[in-house]
A and B are shown apart, each in its own frame.
Chain A
């Protein structure tokens, strides 16, 4: 049996809200194979983004286990998690989350440096060119359009050739045409690097591109298609 790239075992996340305790993610079991493209669908508040955060070790489950390449990560320290993410996990967010202080090129460079990759500067420049922003690498995020910012975010996410890429509504803040360009780019890069992709969306058209879709409702997997 091959090891799953990402595996969630009975993962539950509860949050306290005043007197009440809310269950955001409720006993989810999920396995994602290497190279698979999984779409996570669900209405607003169904726990999609929280699930993604748990998968990346950005958040800790209240109970259950999270494994990446068979390694349990839910008990690791903050710093160990950071080191794990360095070489293996890439992120794309709905609101881009670029560092405003750094130029486009520097944003792409940062994860390469953190991972200690040789030839980081050259690689970053190549990636920026690859997403079509070769001329604008020295621009700051605030000088770029939303679509351009998301392209920088994609270049940053793929810079370390991550085994696992997590995307949280990457086209949510973009208009249809720009969103399509970004999706194409995402698909192309994924094909090039062979990354496993977990993508959160509520857009059925986007989800249609995936190998498999899970539908969340009230923190549970409602159905798989």
Chain B
């Protein structure tokens, strides 16, 4: 075959199958749109993060810790010419505005004290447009606009912070390094570092976050920043306690967040693409079944099998590209929509530009999935004997077992490779493909079982409609298996997404106990506690729960130093985090009601300084009864022995601790108190006013507001999950309709015979609805079970939350899939119903 003949024949082959081939393209387009949108959106986010990394850091390097920069590091920095440094100290605190016109006179703020130039990169937008240092000089302060509105103050008014007076000189419109605004505790307040020292806020034990911002000489390369970071880590006495970030890292935490989001959304999008792949396989199979004569004739005319194969592969490839291109275009449009859904917990970044890699990924995945899923039907169809030109009933020679196995293996490997590409991890890719293969296997078994059961039912006594649908399901080769698998995967996604979302919602709303505290008080000095308690009583507190609190770091476990342990656990991020974080210790005589002893005895050994550890935390750190944990309590070494393990009901929202120490051991350690208080509605503002006047260092968190914010964010996540779930279910429904349409030639003939025998269209409709509904119900039930399993994995591993089986949702999901299946079956059979019987019968004989 010459190239020109090939191309001409290519065009001829698509004739008469355009509708079917359009379905093929649609199956791909839906999935590709999802893949492209997710890749484009996260690509834009990541490149935005990279280009904005300096601004987000406001510096080239940043060293953060809950303790000041030690002398060693300061000396290292001083010894390097051309460096500029700025010190930031941050803490939540309460400000008072006695002259304000609002009903409340106090407000929780995120205080930031600046020593030096700020920011080195990016811009602080302030009204009036004056340099920060000039506005803060002396007793100046600059605050976010919410502070002005909540306290009813204006520029020039006075504030009291930690007992010192400040004058409001500027309104802060934006700052380069503050992101994730949804979780802010309150408006920002800037003051001068020197002025902070003059307040009463820096009492020992207060939680202050220290940051050192470093600017390299202009034009410095990422390597220089990394090199300095390395030198700093080497110079720090306890490097585990400090976080050193460079602009070259590009906001590792945020990037990890983006990666995680992308992985979840990317795999969900891939799932709809794979459901599309099943549609592709069905369409190709039906299309080729109608081309069997043509394939035989081409062979009889002298086309070599290789040439015939090339003809069809080229057609599939071209169609796949067309479908994928349409999907990619849709994906680019969707990409603009996603940031709006996610805006409240992602930083504001420049609008995403055109993402060529995302479009490329969409096209490649679309074409890959199309070829992977077409291979089986294509190989089968090409085995039609040329003899068919003489004997019309000559069917393709069955595919040998080894070849069938090889095709299956290729499908699995291809799916794993695509999933690995989407998740950027071979492990996740393999797990995804494995889970999917297992689900598809169970669905195939379910389909076979359904077919067998349908065949076993003594149907002669059943009503005609039910008998017909059972008969259709029990016959091999009617596409039942593929339909059940496609429907089951659709059900999996629907039920999985719904279950994740409802578990999240229920956990937040239903399990919130009635007696939950509405506010937390922190940073209470022991000497202030009696006075604070009186204030609480005077303000009508309904319940007060208070414990002492000592901050400490782990120094060693069972004799192994923290550095050694962290080094040994390089790959376990969770454990490393648990080891390095600042630990909160308390002491109690008895366990509170929401704690349950699950191992050992509480304070049973008079010889030892005892420690009780929360069960899961102990597991993370590898602690058991008898483990020895040495703490560095702000310079004082304390060694304790684990003698009991506890299970904590965290959802009680009470004050709870990973570590509880035997009373008496920490009496002399630097400490403060925290309290959980339940107040009558609206009591938080009055209490904050009362405390701010007498105890400026005490910070009140009204968690009512915070909980509302968390609920709002979770609702947005819910919207996103629902959006994706609906998208995938719509994709599955469209594809089922496509698959059914692919079998429409067979259906048209069946409908014609049924009508010839005297069946009315109404009766035909009932038959088809019952048949497809049953297939949908079978697939939906398996899908619902698999969806619940998926939700369990996502919630337990991803969100670290318990998961509860919701039978009604599973059943509802299965019924919804059955309904979609019945409707799709009817929609696709509509043409056969409208046709006169003779039209369909004429094609025969």
Which A residues contact B (CB, under 8 angstroms)? 49-50, 53, 56, 58-60, 78-79, 82-87, 89, 91, 93-95, 97-103, 105-106, 109-111, 113-115, 121, 140, 156, 168-169, 172-173
Contacts and interface: CB of A to CB of B under 8 A. Distances in A.
22 contacts: A58-B837, A78-B755, A79-B762, A82-B761, A83-B758, A86-B757, A86-B758, A91-B756, A91-B757, A93-B841, A93-B844, A94-B844, A99-B753, A100-B475, A101-B472, A102-B468, A106-B471, A110-B754, A111-B757, A121-B461, A169-B845, A172-B845
B261 interface: no
A144 B514 CA distance: 73
Contacts of A59: 836-838
- A-B pairs with the 7 shortest C-beta distances? A86-B758, A95-B845, A59-B838, A94-B845, A85-B758, A53-B838, A58-B838
Given A113-B464, A156-B757, 16 more contacts: A49-B842, A53-B838, A53-B841, A53-B842, A58-B837, A59-B838, A79-B762, A82-B760, A85-B756, A85-B757, A86-B757, A105-B460, A111-B758, A114-B758, A114-B763, A173-B845
A110 B755 CA distance: 11
B467 interface: yes
Nearest to B843: A95
A99 B836 CA distance: 18
Q: Max chain B CB contacts within 10 Å: which of A98, A110, A121?
A: A110
A58 to B, nearest CB: 4
B471 A115 contact: no
A99 B472 CA distance: 10
Contacts of B755: 58, 78, 82
Nearest to B749: A97
Contacts of B760: 78-79, 82-83
Contacts of B475: 100-101, 140
B125 interface: no
A172 B579 CA distance: 86
Q: Max chain A CB contacts within 10 Å: which of B474, B753, B755?
A: B753
B758 A82 contact: yes
B393 to A, nearest CB: 9
Interface in B718-777: 749-750, 753-763
Interface string B466-491: 01100110110010000000000000
Contacts of B841: 53, 58, 93, 97
A98 B475 CA distance: 14
A60 B836 contact: yes
Interface in B541-595: none
Q: Which bucket holds chain B's interface residue count?
A: 20 to 34
A152 to B, nearest CB: 13
Contacts of B837: 58-59
B740 to A, nearest CB: 15
B844 A101 contact: no
Contacts of B838: 50, 53, 58-59
A53 B845 CA distance: 14
Nearest to B472: A101
Nearest to A121: B460
Contacts of A50: 838
A50 B475 CA distance: 32
B468 A101 contact: yes
A138 to B, nearest CB: 10
B471 A78 contact: no
Given A85-B758, A87-B758, A97 B468 contact: no
Contacts of B842: 49, 53
B845 A56 contact: no
Contacts of B464: 110, 113-114
Contacts of B844: 93-95, 97
Q: Max chain B CB contacts within 10 Å: which of A53, A60, A105, A121?
A: A53
B724 to A, nearest CB: 37
A101 B478 contact: yes
Interface in B815-845: 836-838, 841-842, 844-845
Nearest to B837: A58
A101 B757 contact: no
Contact of A79 (B471, B478, B761): B761
A106 B467 contact: yes
A50 B762 CA distance: 26
Contacts of B758: 82-87, 89, 111, 114-115
Nearest to A97: B753
A53 B838 CA distance: 7
A101 B475 CA distance: 6
Nearest to A57: B837
A87 B755 CA distance: 13
Interface string B92-109: 000000000000000000
Contacts of A98: 753
A58 B749 CA distance: 13
A49 B478 CA distance: 29
A140 B474 CA distance: 11
A76 to B, nearest CB: 12
Nearest to A120: B460
Contacts of A105: 460
Contacts of A106: 459-460, 467, 471
A91 B754 CA distance: 12
A85 B749 CA distance: 17
Contacts of A82: 755, 758-761
A78 B758 CA distance: 10
A140 B755 CA distance: 20
A93 B845 contact: yes
Contacts of A84: 758
B758 to A, nearest CB: 3
Contacts of A60: 836
A53 B836 CA distance: 10
B373 to A, nearest CB: 26
Contacts of B763: 114
A114 B757 CA distance: 8
A106 B472 CA distance: 12
A214 B173 CA distance: 97
A95 B749 CA distance: 12
A89 B756 CA distance: 9
Interface string B330-358: 00000000000000000000000000000
Contacts of B750: 99-101
Contacts of B468: 101-102
Q: Max chain B CB contacts within 10 Å: which of A78, A84, A98?
A: A78
A119 to B, nearest CB: 12
